[in-house]
Chains A and B, each alone.
Chain A
Amino acid sequence: MATYSLANERLRALEDIEREIGAILQNAGTVILELSKEKTNERLLDRQAAAFTASVQHVEAELSSQIRYLTQVATGQPHEGSSYSSRKDCQMALKRVDYARLKLSDVARTCEQMLEN
């Protein structure tokens, strides 16, 4: 179930960074390809080079901030919390519902048998 908010925000930020790294390599390739042409489109060249530089700086800043956050937050101890108890309670509630449904179907079957007889 992907409804965790805070954890997902940081993970989503890291996934955005991954996409941006791909974009960095794409931009670098476009710049070099453009340079290899005889007639270079200077505006495209400048735009791509600026995008490349901005992306690299952005990726560096984002990753540095993530590492800084982890330095503040990490304790080195394993997390020992769990949702086992509430999961068990919910499981028992679902078992109660199943049992009630089973018994109701028995009663319905018995009523039908009585009616047939």
Chain B
Amino acid sequence: MAQQRALPQSKETLLQSYNKRLKDDIKSIMDNFTEIIKTAKIEDETQVSRATQGEQDNYEMHVRAANIVRAGESLMKLVSDLKQFLILNDFPSVNEAIDQRNQQLRALQEECDRKLIGLRDEVSIDLYELEEEYYSSSSSLCEANDLPLCEAYWRLDLDTDSTDGLSAPLLASPEPSAGPLQAAAPAHSHAGGPGPTEHA
């Protein structure tokens, strides 16, 4: 059941004007077309000579044809205005469009986060192996002022001139086997987060 809401005067007037334009244009097309067909009928010569009548009919047909074209263009303009009005004021379709867009964006976001979580799990396994390799290699030395692995990694960027930067002191943990685990645990705690793994 569609109740007639109290539309603002401007909207109501606008819709009424659309109706009027539609009726006028359709009427114009039909009337002018039928008049052209009627004028095409060849009649007996009356007071006006045939040549004059022919010229008059020719001019009238031109004008009526131009009227039909004008009415057609006016109808096209009406359709364009209706499209604009529809896009701006058809709330059900605007709501549905917004809902669809939200769904698409949410699905994309969930897909990204799911892929990141899978990536995190894979990279943590590889990081574990890398750290094991690093700590068991001959270049790993345990000293008193050893830095954690992440600090050594960041120092590589800062101390490019220093030769000690490359052979930077390592994790100061007395148990090398706990190192990779210690590095992996914060990695798992930062579920999907953008930050790098940071040691306490």
Nearest-Cβ distance from residue A46 to partner chain B, whole angstroms: 12
In the complex the two chains form, is A28's CB within 8 Å of B88's CB? no
Known contacts A7-B94, A52-B33, A93-B112; is-contact A72 B2 (Cβ 8 Å)? yes
Residues of B within 8 A of A32 (CB): 36, 40, 61, 65
In the complex the two chains form, is B79's CB within 8 Å of A17's CB? yes
Total A-B pairs, Cβ < 8 A: 159
A66 to B83, CA, bound (A): 10
Known contacts A7-B96, A81-B95; is-contact A67 B123 (Cβ 8 Å)? no
Minimum CB distance partner of A78 in chain B: B88
Minimum CB distance partner of A49 in chain B: B37
In the complex the two chains form, is A83's CB within 8 Å of B101's CB? yes
Q: B43 contacts the other chain (Cβ, under 8 Å)?
A: no
Q: How many A residues have CB within 8 A of the partner chain?
A: 57
Residues of A within 8 A of B65 (CB): 32
A49-74 residues with Cβ-Cβ distance < 8 A to B are: 52, 56, 59-60, 63-64, 66-67, 70-74
Q: How many B residues have CB within 8 A of the partner chain?
A: 63
In the complex the two chains form, is B90's CB within 8 Å of A56's CB? no
Known contacts A75-B91, A89-B109; is-contact A18 B5 (Cβ 8 Å)? no
In the complex the two chains form, is B79's CB within 8 Å of A11's CB? no
Minimum CB distance partner of A10 in chain B: B86
Q: Which residues of B contact A (CB under 8 A)?
A: 2, 5, 7-8, 10-11, 15, 18-19, 22, 26, 29-30, 33, 36-37, 40, 61, 65, 68-69, 72, 75-76, 78-79, 82-83, 85-98, 100-102, 104-106, 108-109, 112-113, 115-116, 119, 123, 130, 153, 156, 166, 192, 194, 196
